[in-house]
């Protein structure tokens, strides 16, 4: 039985989020410049996007560049921006062919003009696609997103559009850059680091976390399948007890309450 065959297609996560980490070390281990690693990381993106689309995953969020990554050496930041633009240009026809819709979350005003322009065109060109939703987190950080949301809520309160007493989780979620997407059920981080690095702090509240030492440029569909199989073995309790979850599962099978 192949790894792919071991996946239960009835229990797929709707939304997978990935911290694509380890490009720099992958390159340095080969005696190469860090940009060489980013360049090879694009091949992994292609492979994983294809893998998710084939499985029927609805949402895939890829953490490509954090707001903190702007503080890296200029050579690396410039190289990454150029790679981004070049990749988008090349990939849009493939996204369209595969019915994949591109979305972007992050502080896009920090991007150089030429990159933002390319990105906006790609968003428009894929807007009618109805298959996989590919969300690129670019110049993104969760604290940026939360501060932004609070600011916008404050302005709407001031303008009389919402009453402070009416603010609840549903309202707050509408102000996040992920308001159109469900929360990720599975979050994967490559490269052997065990941290979240300012990624979707609110949205990952109940996500299953999966860490692998595989560096991002080596990450392929088979690794994705392993993560999904691991995810499917877990019991997601959302604060309830094991017994409650078991009873709910029984109800779903028999159609009668416990
Ligand atoms: C992830 O790889 C890509 C970005 C953050 C842009 P890194 O560049 O962080 O690679 P490591 O973690 O230094 O190996
Ligand atoms: C997180 O990786 C950001 C992306 C993968 C885009 P980093 O390499 O920037 O995170 P830290 O610095 O190791 O926490
Ligand atoms: Mg890193």
- What's the pLDDT at 253? 84
Q: Of 21, 23, 183, 198, which is the active-site residue?
A: 21
Domain assignment present for 77: yes
Distance 60 CA to ligand 3 centre (A): 20
Domain assignment present for 1: no
Q: Which of 188, 189, 226, 187 is nearest to 207 (CA)?
A: 187
How far lies 122's CA from each of 85, 99, 102, in Å? 10, 13, 7
Instruction: Supply angle C-alpha 79, 84, 121, rounded to 5.
Output: 140
Domain assignment present for 158: no
* Tens-level pLDDT at each residue, the chain (258 residues): 999 999 999 999 999 999 999 999 999 999 999 999 999 999 999 999 999 999 999 999 999 999 999 999 999 999 999 999 999 999 999 999 999 999 999 999 999 999 999 999 999 999 999 999 999 999 999 999 999 999 999 999 999 999 999 999 999 999 999 999 999 999 999 999 999 999 999 999 999 999 999 999 999 999 999 999 999 999 999 999 999 999 998 998 887 765
% helix, strand, coil for the chain, step of 5:
50, 15, 35
Q: Is 25 in the pocket of ligand 2 (CB under 6 A)?
A: no
Count of domains observed in the chain: 1
Domain assignment present for 166: no
- Which is the closest atom of ligand 1 to the Cα of 28? 14
Report d(CA 137, CA 178) in Å as an integer: 10
Domain assignment present for 175: no
Domain assignment present for 153: no
With a CB cutoff of 8 Å and minimum separation 6, the contacts of 22 are 37, 190, 191, 192, 214, 215, 216, 217
Dihedral in degrees, nearest 10, Cα atoms 50, 112, 75, 201: -60
Neighbours of ion ligand 3 (CB under 5 A): 21
Domain assignment present for 88: yes
The token pair that represents 207 in the structure block: 């996500």
Distance 156 CA to ligand 3 centre (A): 37
- Residue 219 lies in domain: 10-140+183-254
Looking up residue 70, the CATH number of its domain turns out to be 3.40.1180.10
Report d(CA 112, CA 226) in Å as an integer: 37
Domain assignment present for 133: yes
Q: Is the dihedral of CA 178, 186, 131, 41 positive or negative?
A: positive
Report d(CA 216, CA 44) in Å as an integer: 7
């Amino acid at each position: 039985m192949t790894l792919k065959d071991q996946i239960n297609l009835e229990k797929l996560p709707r939304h997978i989020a990935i911290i694509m980490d380890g490009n720099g070390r992958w390159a340095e281990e080969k005696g190469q410049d860090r940009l060489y690693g980013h360049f090879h990381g694009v091949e992994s993106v292609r492979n994983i996007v294809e893998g998710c689309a084939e499985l029927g995953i609805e949402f895939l969020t890829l953490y490509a560049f954090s707001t903190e990554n702007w503080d890296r050496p200029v050579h690396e930041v410039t190289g990454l921006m150029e790679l981004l633009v070049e990749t988008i240009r090349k990939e849009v026809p493939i996204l369209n062919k595969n019915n994949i819709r591109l979305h972007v979350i992050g502080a896009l005003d920090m991007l150089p003009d030429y990159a933002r322009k390319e990105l906006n065109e790609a968003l428009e060109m894929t807007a009618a696609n109805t298959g996989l939703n590919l969300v690129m987190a670019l110049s993104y950080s969760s604290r940026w997103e939360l501060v932004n949301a609070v600011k916008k809520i404050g302005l709407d309160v001031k303008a009389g559009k919402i009453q402070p007493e009416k603010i609840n989780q549903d309202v707050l979620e509408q102000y996040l850059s992920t308001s159109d997407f469900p929360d990720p059920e599975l979050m994967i981080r490559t490269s052997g680091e065990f941290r979240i690095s300012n990624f979707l702090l609110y949205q990952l509240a109940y996500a299953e976390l999966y860490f692998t030492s595989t560096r991002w440029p080596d990450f392929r569909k088979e690794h994705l399948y392993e993560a999904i199989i691991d995810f499917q073995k877990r019991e997601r309790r959302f604060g309830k007890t094991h017994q409650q979850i078991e009873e709910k599962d029984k109800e779903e099978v028999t159609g009668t309450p416990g």
